Amino acid sequence: MGDTGEVRGKNKASQETLDSMIHFSEQYARRSGTFFCSDPMITTVVVEGLAKHREELGSPLCPCRFYEDKEAEVKSAYWNCPCVPMRERKECHCLLFLTPDDPYAGTSQTYIPTDVDYNS
């Protein structure tokens, strides 16, 4: 892929932003004692969504929700990752940060890249 600022695809964030969100996700998982989903595809989709929102909106707005006004949501900061439910109760509805007792929790706090075909 070459240059870290290169755009990875029409609907994807740059590799530089993706790398930044991967680093953030791994650090937050370790700091919060949570683990990525046992299905690495879910982790990939969520992290890529966070990276895309970070580029488009300036903040990693939760990609798993529908927003009437994304800019207003970013300003309120409630759904900026880590969202308030995650920070307060360790509840991540995106399945990115899961407590060890969650049935969908994997055993990894390290991002494992998975190819996602957004055209199918």
Question: Residues 1-60: pLDDT tens digits?
Answer: 334 444 445 568 999 999 999 999 999 999 999 999 999 999 999 999 999 999 999 999
CATH number at residue 42: 3.90.460.10
Q: What is the 3-state composition of the chain as percent helix, strand, coil, each rounded to the nearest 5?
A: 40, 5, 50
In-domain check, residue 55: yes
In-domain check, residue 110: no
Average pLDDT on 102-119 reads 87
In-domain check, residue 31: yes
Q: Report the catalytic residues.
A: 64
**Total tally of structural domains belonging to the chain:** 1
Task: Name the residue among 40, 50, 41 with its Cα closest to residue 18.
Answer: 50
Q: Which domain holds residue 27?
A: 15-89
In-domain check, residue 34: yes
